[in-house]
Amino acid sequence: MTAERPIVSPGYLASVQPIVLVGGKSRRFGRDKLREPWGSDGRVLVQYPIEALRGVFGRRVKLVGACDPTVEQLADGVIADLHPGVGPMGGIVSALAQWHGSVFVLAGDMPSFAGMEITSILRIAQMHPSAHVVCAFTDRLQPCAAVYSQHARPFLEASVSRGDYKLLSALDPIEALPVSVAPEAAKNVNVPVGVHQVVVQPGRLRS
């Protein structure tokens, strides 16, 4: 029996801009990991978060951050990074500054985050419209798999202004709402070991 996705209203979905963060330098990986062949079907690593978001939001997934032109072509547009070199926080602040509502953030190196996790987070965010952040949680918060509302923007902008670019530090005063996900779902790929694996737990939906 196939697991059903939590219900999220079309109106709420339309108010959220899905983004994939792609501005990392891949230093530990040793080469551009976003273009690394991944899985057995000819796709590259960054296509997994893009297509997982498309499975929920449709073809309006945008990238934030400097990346190879071939990566840009895989998504549905690009949001300019107003804070290059700052890391994920700069990308999130940039997206919030250029969109009128909330943004759903996924890291470009998170290939196992699937539609079930995305809709679970969206459902909680829809139920709590005043929440600053609704964030995936394993043994800790996963700030690159989350919904950020406009309420979070001034806190993040203040952190950028202070030169404090650590997302977890910025979330401390915000009290992010946690949504439990499997540890495998939120795993980042940082080194070229086992690069042809995509983990999907039984009962989870891969978009």
What is the reported pLDDT for 31? 45
In contact, 48 and 132? CB cutoff 8 Å: no
CA angle 167, 143, 113 (to 5 degrees): 155
Q: Is the pLDDT of residue 104 over 70?
A: yes
Token pair in block for residue 42: 């000819």
pLDDT above 70 covers what percent of the chain? 84
Quick one: average pLDDT of 84-108? Answer: 95
Let me know if residue 51 belongs to a domain: yes
The model scores a pTM over 0.75: yes
Let me know if residue 123 belongs to a domain: yes
What is the reported pLDDT for 34? 84
pLDDT above 90 covers what percent of the chain? 66
41-72 residue pLDDT tens: 778 889 999 999 999 999 999 999 887 889 88
- Is the alpha carbon torsion for 38, 44, 45, 51 positive or negative? negative
Q: Which CATH number do you get for residue 111?
A: 3.90.550.10
Structural domains in the chain (count): 1
Let me know if residue 1 belongs to a domain: no
The C-alpha atoms of residue 101 and residue 107 are separated, in whole angstroms, by 19
Let me know if residue 198 belongs to a domain: no
Quick one: average pLDDT of 107-117? Answer: 94
**Beta bridge mates, 179:** 136
Which structural domain range is residue 168 located in? 21-180
What is the reported pLDDT for 164? 94
Q: Is the pLDDT of residue 191 over 60?
A: no
What is the reported pLDDT for 176? 92
The C-alpha atoms of residue 135 and residue 138 are separated, in whole angstroms, by 10
205 — pLDDT class (breaks 50, 70, 90):
very low
Residue 16: exposed, middle, or buried by beta-carbon count in 10 A (0-12, 13-18, 19+)?
buried
Strand arrangement, sheet containing 177-180: 78-79, 62-64, 16-21, 102-107, 141-148, 133-137, 177-180
Mean pLDDT of the chain: 86
Let me know if residue 12 belongs to a domain: no
